[in-house]
Amino acid sequence: MGATGYLGSLLVPALLDAGHEVSALVRAPDASDPLPAPVTVHAGDATDPRAVREALAGVEVAYFLVHSLERDDFADVDRRAATVLVEGAAAAGVRQVVYVGGPRPTSDDVSEHLASRAEVGDILTAGSVPALALQASMIIGRGSTSFDLLATARLSPWVPVPRWMRNTSRPVAAADVVHYLLAAAEVEPPVRGTFDVPGPEALSYLALVQRYARVTGLRTRLPVPAPLWSHRLAAALTGVVTAIPSAVARPLFESLDHDLEPTDGVVTDVLPAPPRGPTTVDNAIRATFPATACRAATGAPFVDELVVPTTAGPDEVWRTITGLGGTTGWHTIPLVWTVRGAVDHLVGGVGLYRGRAPEVSDGDVVDFWTVLHRDDAARRLVLHADMRMPGDTVLEMSVEPGAYRQRITFTPDDVAGKLYWHLQKPLHDVVFTTMAHGIARGSTSTGRRAVAEALRDAANHVAGRLR
């Protein structure tokens, strides 16, 4: 049920690819955009007991992905549909029911949308057939209404910030939700209970807007205090400037009145995690856009390589490398990259974004860099600079026995790029040499002393190169 909705349209092909036979109950089959040929389609409404019984005949696992948010009486409709499914699943001998709802805030004043999602989960899990209720906050994926609301950040360089914009949630990638839904088809024995499906990062909605802007190449959105910015006003404006109806947007905005953090057991208590671990927010956002590559530069590359001895073990150095950025910083001259980021922002670039995933992987953002490749076995991290410059910069950091290796490759755009490289080279040498020594020393000691020693070593190193 819900095969033609957002999650259903992703799940059906995944089930077919896994070799499952799929039967779908569709309110109004669309001849112009039919379900894949192997799917057995039943026409009918989810609140019609007869149609539901016919659709469930011979079914082992029933997915309830119905949501009637476009209707004013969505809570009543979804309640009836859940009750009909419980009765139909019992009569048909269904082995497992699977449902995707929303988080359960701990406050008493819960939005109608979240209260309805919780009520449906309770109805399903109280039935005689074991029901697995998965609770996810924002699902990041093109076509997800919640994510499409976030994408309205593209429409304006400003973002109004009422109080509710600072509440937090755990956005999860659509691909991860589909992974769990697919795994639920084969779980043995059947599972009964409510489990959260949290993403790997807790972010406020404002931080998520800024993350979206950063990953998609937009300038940082300018936050504007808006204490009178109500859910009704936000929904009305959304209905005017987007294809999302105001009636759908309003209950979703109202749900932002709560911190949407996990409150129940976690899905990995009963289902296997994605093979490569949870998808980071950066990569989930990036997956909603066509793949992009580093822009082509035309000149012969300039290469600056440095190997710094260290008494730290390889694991300690690797932890330092993979922990760079965000609140940790870059083990170089204080504020130098803050200034560089501010300048970049002024000339229309991405600017300095002080943020990163807890554990970065390919495609993730680390301040104004993007991770091109992370190889834990070889202890090698490759970053691409997203700043505006007449050329292309790649930073490669790796660990060797007793040493830290750093390689910077700058491929210039003809004459302008070559001039840029030579003009910034003196400062470049100081900043990146300090960083290399800071990483080598920061792996064994932290704080101001390590930075001071790194500055001293860098000065001696640069002076030696000038002799």
Please give the Cα distance from 446 to 174 (Å, whole number): 39
User: Beta strand 380-385 with 369-375: parallel, antiparallel or unpaired?
Assistant: antiparallel
Whole-number pLDDT of residue 367: 85
Q: Which residue type occupies 347?
A: V
Q: Do domains 6-286 and 302-466 have the same CATH topology?
A: no
Low pLDDT (below 70) residues in the chain: 1, 29-33, 108, 290-299, 348, 352-354, 443-467
Query: Is the C-alpha dihedral spanning 396, 398, 400, 406 positive or negative?
Result: positive
Cβ–Cβ under 8 Å, residues 361 and 367: no
Contacts 24+ apart (CB under 8 A), 176-179: 176/274, 176/278, 176/279, 176/284, 177/7, 177/100, 177/134, 177/136, 177/139, 178/7, 178/10, 178/11, 178/14, 179/274
Tell me if residue 201 falls in helix, strand or coil. coil
| Number of C-beta neighbours around residue 449 at 10 A | 10
Residues 6 or more apart whose CB falls under 8 angstroms from that of 164 comprise 205, 231, 253, 256, 257
Query: Is the C-alpha dihedral spanning 371, 373, 374, 380 positive or negative?
Result: negative
Classify the phi-psi angles of 230: left when phi > 0, otherwise alpha if psi is within -120 to 50, otherwise beta: beta
Instruction: Tell me which CATH homologous superfamily contains domain 6-286.
Output: NAD(P)-binding Rossmann-like Domain (3.40.50.720)
Whole-number pLDDT of residue 316: 92
DSSP state of 1: -
CA distances from 194 to 170, 222, 229, 326, 442 (A): 17, 39, 34, 34, 44
Cβ–Cβ under 8 Å, residues 266 and 196: yes
Name the helix (H) or strand (E) containing 457.
helix 448-466
DSSP state of 4: T
CA distances from 340 to 214, 219, 333, 427 (A): 16, 15, 12, 11
In 206-266, beta strands by DSSP E: 222-225, 265-266
Pick the CATH number of 302-466 from 3.30.530, 3.30.420, 2.60.40, 1.10.10: 3.30.530
CA end-to-end span of the chain:
75
pTM over 0.85: no
DSSP string, 92-131: HT-SEEEEEE----SSSS--HHHHHHHHHHHHHHTSSS-E
Please give the Cα distance from 251 to 241 (Å, whole number): 18
Whole-number pLDDT of residue 410: 93
Whole-number pLDDT of residue 99: 92
Domain map of the chain by residue range?
6-286, 302-466
Query: Is the C-alpha dihedral spanning 232, 234, 238, 240 positive or negative?
Result: positive
In 227-353, beta strands by DSSP E: 265-266, 302-309
Residues 6 or more apart whose CB falls under 8 angstroms from that of 92 comprise 53, 56, 57, 58, 59
Whole-number pLDDT of residue 461: 58
Cβ–Cβ under 8 Å, residues 238 and 156: no
Cβ–Cβ under 8 Å, residues 86 and 123: yes
Whole-number pLDDT of residue 466: 46
Please give the Cα distance from 22 to 34 (Å, whole number): 14
Whole-number pLDDT of residue 447: 43
Please give the Cα distance from 130 to 61 (Å, whole number): 10
